[in-house]
Structure 1
Amino acid sequence: MEAIGYDRVSAYRFERTRLMLAEAGVDAAILFDPLNLRYATGSRNMQVWSSHHMVRYVFVPVSGPVVLFDYGGAMHLSDSNTLISETRPAKSWDYFGSGSRAAEHATLWASEIADLLREVCGQDATLGLDRADLLPLRALDRLGVHVVDAKGPLELARSVKSTEEIEIIRGSMQVCTDAITFMRQHARPGVSENYLLSLLNQYNIEHGGEHQETRCLASGHHTNPWFTEASAKIIEAGEMLVFDSDLVGPNGIFTDQTRSFVIGDCRPAPEQRTNYALAYEQLQHNLSLLRPGLTFEEYIQASWQMPDLYVPNRYAEMVHGIGFGVEYPLVYFRQDAPAWQYPGEFVEGMTVCVESYIGAVGGPDGVKLEQPALITSTGPVALSDCPFELDYL
């Protein structure tokens, strides 16, 4: 295949952003979320830190110049970025930096944004925000700026990948698969959960990855119910080890793969074998359903029927999108759909993860499996070749 054109990928994402904003009736958006900012402009800076300090944002109009507001002293980072027309110092109202002057600083922020919006888009322009903090939102309201939610248009933009984006995702997924292989070489009785988690991070960062979003690696009784974070617990022979990689790999791609296996030279116990077989059956059945045009409701109705014994400990969802993070779409289990499921359908070019967790309430352990896949015109194509424990079946 022709070498990936990263400039073409950035241009595709930028145009997707503008297209979805226009379709939503938004004249310009201020993007605070580091994932949205990176998607729309290709610019990154202290991504984890800026996710909880609103000190970095970008003005993206449907038509007109893109203005990046970056953290003080970092404006030079985007000098070569052709999508960004101008870089200005960011104004922050976060209490740690503004203290009792937070409301004052939020008003200064809103005044600059209102002036920019009206200069580029006109007096009655609509501004989209992907995050709404109380003080600046009130300040925009006082200035008469019409503000709407921009999160939806950005989620829709990010949900359909270009051919070259898919290749970038494949490459990052391979680093994740290799990190799992590296970790498994050291997964033996007597090591701690924290130690194995550190190895995933070590390999990922050494090979161009960026960070890890969660600490979901557990063993033995920590695996049931799910979501117990990695700890100093020592792993024993015969215990099930379950991990959700959740690595942000090269190029910022969220590489979400989950596997489970028994530690040591042990065969799985009967209940472990049953859990694994059911989780694998659920995963493969739900993967096979994916196709363009299938509605979320149709998917729910056709999904694998979980035995009642395991329903109380079911995972949060059956399917979620994947790219820079967990993203649109999300499809819930039938038990949760009446309260939470929204309408929609799968589209060619979406990259998603299919989830499975099996663990009886009060059981000694559980099994979680997850597989990323691309939705093509002919059905799903796996984005990872990380092996399963087929000899457990």
Structure 2
Amino acid sequence: MRHPTMEPAALARLRAGRLARLQAAMRARGVEACLLFNEPNIRYATGASAMPIWSNTTFVRCALVPAEGRPILFEHPNSMHLFRGIEAEVRPMHAWEFYDDTAAHATIFAREMVAALRERGVIGSRLAVDRLGTPGFLALQRLGMAIDDSAPVTTEARAIKTPEEVALFDLNGGILMEMLGNFEQAIAPGIRERDLLAGLAGTLLRNGGEHLATSTVCSGPNTNPWRAETTARVLERGDLVYVDTDAVGVEGCFFCVSRTFLCGDAPATPAQREAYRAAHDWLLALRDLVRPGSTCADITARAPRLPAKFMPQRYEVMIHGAGLEEESPSVAYPGDPQPNGDCVLAENMVLVVELYCGEPGGRDGVKLGDQAVVTSQGTRLLVPYPYCGALL
């Protein structure tokens, strides 16, 4: 089976475009260098990803990015061969974890980072970092480095997608359509939530995707309240079943698309229909408000109102960005804090519009979410999977 891939020339443009955006954001904010341990940030800066789930829980690889010039990928020594030919220089990482004397090994790491900065012409003492374990932080401090937060730079760079990134989302959209189609077809009384989740992951992996970031397949009473984990519960006729894909696809492209289905041939209950209709209509109305030039505060002020009984268990935000993971910007519900209210939506942002409708104490809950790219005219769905007709 041949899974979807980008042509080498397009992949090279994708990586070069991302690095250019990151370094431009650094220069605009006066940041001389970034030290990146977060896997999506490493991938954005260098195009390289290795053992992403494990690497994101450790400090075994990182990228050192100057505002001008070639980045350095400090890679797990046994993985260096994977990245011959990438734009970044590749050097072995000296990790401090898994040793008895972490401070001593962190000192070696810190000395190598400072030496690399000086090689790249970075003479200042400030370093923007996304995440850093305590031994590494203290070792850099002892060498006179002051640590700043890299988030203002990385979030600004990643918010607007390059043309190649939009093409990558389109390439992955077909995989998500297949995932959801296979998922819906597999729903039947007698199957377990875990079996449905396994099928979802299997479709993703067979098509060249990487992993599911969460395990969110829930049925029946597990659909209320929101945020349950997938269990061994066996589906019954008449259950609601929802899925939040949270899928990391080809080249790390992240998809947060949600759908709710009805199990079996039982008619939906009035409560199920009410919750689904409220979610469906709200989703479409809010999506229609998304336009380039609108601010987050504008959308909050004009947003449709959910029925009051669903507000106590509402989703955290109405809209959030997506790229290599869940990203900015986010749009809050009316009455919730919106510190980024002046953030302006722009063409080629990729946004997720999503919500949860479940009444406190009720049996059923509905989760719906669409992922779209912002266009000059509004939005274009990346995964136009149908809504559940049996619930409308």
User: Normalized against structure 2, the TM-score is what?
Assistant: 0.95
Q: 1:290 to 1:17 in 2, by over 3 A?
A: same
What secondary structure sits across from 1:312 in the alignment? Answer: helix
Is 2:59–2:133's contact at 8 Å kept on the other side of the alignment? no
Q: Provide Cα deviations, 1:4-42, integer angstroms capped at 9, x if missing partner.
A: 711111110110111111112111111111101111111
Is 2:354–2:369's contact at 8 Å kept on the other side of the alignment? yes
Question: For the residues of structure 1 that align with 2:165 and 2:69, how far apart are their CA atoms?
Answer: 25
Is 2:179–2:203's contact at 8 Å kept on the other side of the alignment? yes
Question: For the residues of structure 1 that align with 2:261 and 2:275, how far apart are their CA atoms?
Answer: 11
The aligned amino acid for 1:387 is: P
Partner of 1:123: 123
Q: 1:65 to 1:6 in 2, by over 3 A?
A: closer
Write the mapping of 1:88-107 to structure 2, written as runs, cut at 5 A: 88-94=91-97, 97-99=98-100, 101-107=101-107
Which residue of 43, 51, 54 maps to 2:56? Answer: 51
Question: For the residues of structure 2 that align with 1:226 and 1:239, how far apart are their CA atoms?
Answer: 15
1:286 and 2:286 aligned: yes
155-164 vs 264-273, greater mean Cα deviation: 155-164
Write the mapping of 1:57-68 to structure 2, written as runs, cut at 5 A: 57-68=62-73
Is 1:208–1:249's contact at 8 Å kept on the other side of the alignment? yes
Q: Percent identity?
A: 34
Partner of 1:72: 77
What secondary structure sits across from 1:11 in the alignment? Answer: helix
Offset at 1:187? 0.8
Question: For the residues of structure 2 that align with 1:378 and 1:65, how far apart are their CA atoms?
Answer: 37
Is 1:173–1:249's contact at 8 Å kept on the other side of the alignment? no
Q: Provide Cα deviations, 1:64-109, integer angstroms capped at 9, x if missing partner.
A: 332111112211111111x11x322111122xx113x111111111
Question: For the residues of structure 2 that align with 1:21 and 1:298, how far apart are their CA atoms?
Answer: 28
What secondary structure sits across from 1:330 in the alignment? Answer: strand
Is 1:25–1:126's contact at 8 Å kept on the other side of the alignment? no
The aligned amino acid for 1:91 is: H
Partner of 1:363: 362
Is 2:225–2:313's contact at 8 Å kept on the other side of the alignment? yes
Q: How many residues matched?
A: 386
What secondary structure sits across from 2:287 in the alignment? Answer: helix
Q: Provide Cα deviations, 1:304-323, integer angstroms capped at 9, x if missing partner.
A: 11222111110111111111
Question: For the residues of structure 2 that align with 1:378 and 1:191, how far apart are their CA atoms?
Answer: 42
The aligned amino acid for 1:43 is: A
Is 2:107–2:139's contact at 8 Å kept on the other side of the alignment? yes
Question: For the residues of structure 2 that align with 1:58 and 1:143, how far apart are their CA atoms?
Answer: 19
1:296 and 2:296 aligned: yes
The aligned amino acid for 1:364 is: R
The aligned amino acid for 1:55 is: V
Offset at 1:352? 0.5
Offset at 1:353? 0.4
The aligned amino acid for 2:11 is: Y
What are structure 2's unaligned runs of at least 5 residues?
1-5
1:384 and 2:383 aligned: yes
The aligned amino acid for 2:170 is: R
What secondary structure sits across from 1:230 in the alignment? Answer: coil
RMSD (Å) for aligned C-alpha atoms: 1.6
219-228 vs 68-77, greater mean Cα deviation: 68-77
1:263 and 2:263 aligned: yes
Question: For the residues of structure 2 that align with 1:260 and 1:137, how far apart are their CA atoms?
Answer: 44
The aligned amino acid for 2:60 is: V
Question: For the residues of structure 2 that align with 1:387 and 1:303, how far apart are their CA atoms?
Answer: 23
The aligned amino acid for 1:353 is: V
What are structure 1's unaligned runs of at least 5 residues?
none
Question: For the residues of structure 1 that align with 2:349 and 2:35, how far apart are their CA atoms?
Answer: 25
Write the mapping of 1:10-159 to structure 2, written as runs, cut at 5 A: 10-81=15-86, 83-84=87-88, 86-94=89-97, 97-99=98-100, 101-159=101-159
User: Normalized against structure 1, the TM-score is what?
Assistant: 0.95
1:347 and 2:352 aligned: no
What secondary structure sits across from 1:185 in the alignment? Answer: helix
Q: 1:196 to 1:289 in 2, by over 3 A?
A: same
181-190 vs 194-203, greater mean Cα deviation: 181-190
Is 2:262–2:390's contact at 8 Å kept on the other side of the alignment? no
Partner of 2:3: none
The aligned amino acid for 2:382 is: L
The aligned amino acid for 2:99 is: S
Is 1:160–1:347's contact at 8 Å kept on the other side of the alignment? yes
Write the mapping of 1:220-369 to structure 2, written as runs, cut at 5 A: 220-337=220-337, 343-369=342-368
Q: 1:216 to 1:335 in 2, by over 3 A?
A: farther
Is 1:259–1:388's contact at 8 Å kept on the other side of the alignment? yes
Is 1:107–1:139's contact at 8 Å kept on the other side of the alignment? yes
Question: For the residues of structure 2 that align with 1:335 and 1:191, how far apart are their CA atoms?
Answer: 41
Offset at 1:295? 1.0
Is 2:189–2:237's contact at 8 Å kept on the other side of the alignment? yes
Offset at 1:186? 1.5
Q: 1:206 to 1:102 in 2, by over 3 A?
A: same
Question: For the residues of structure 1 that align with 2:171 and 2:119, how far apart are their CA atoms?
Answer: 42
Q: Provide Cα deviations, 1:138-183, integer angstroms capped at 9, x if missing partner.
A: 2222211232111221111111112221121012122011111112
